[in-house]
Amino acid sequence: MRVVVQRVQHGKVIVEESTVAEIRHGVVILVGIGPEDGEPQAKYLAEKIANLRIFADDQGKTNLSLLDVGGEAIVVSQFTLYADTRKGRRPSFINAAPPELAEPLVKRFAEMLRYQGVQTQTGKFGANMMVEIHNDGPVTIIMERDL
């Protein structure tokens, strides 16, 4: 399971000209699912992200977590995180999980973030989404979890 966590001042997901998710202060999480991924990877990453200290305290040091600042999250499925670009010019996505495995795990990951206490919204799986990310900092963290 691969995730890209971006600290944002504002995030929004639009599908077919309708807003399906919008937050102010928090993180936008792009999630890629591999074929061997399951609940253990999702649980680990949800807990890690909820407690990741990437927000500034009163002294301007990154000592506060998403939970500490009351931030929100948007989870966006992103199979392209498993792109293989080693050969040719067209990326291969054979290392990404098929939709029937990926969709329920992305939903479960969002549920696990909520369980951690993070207000969490999602994009629309499989849709062509316009994702607005007003990256704060910019702070972008790439995480991967294989068990």
Q: What is the CATH number of the domain that holds 51?
A: 3.50.80.10
pLDDT in tens, 41-83: 999 999 999 999 999 999 999 999 999 999 999 999 999 999 9
Residue 78 annotated in active site: yes
Number of domains in the chain: 1
Point out the catalytic residue in the list 6, 41, 78, 120.
78
Query: Where do we find the tokens 């963290």?
Result: 141
Confidence of residue 147 (pLDDT cuts 50, 70, 90): low
**Which helix or strand (DSSP H or E) is residue 49 part of?**
helix 39-51
Point out the catalytic residue in the list 9, 19, 80, 119.
80
Residue 80 annotated in active site: yes
**Mean local confidence (pLDDT), 26-41:** 97
3-state helix, strand, coil in the chain (%, to 5): 25, 40, 35
Whole-number Å distance between alpha carbons of 100 and 130: 23
Point out the catalytic residue in the list 41, 79, 109, 116.
79
Whole-number Å distance between alpha carbons of 147 and 141: 20
The residue segments making up the domain with residue 21 are 2-144
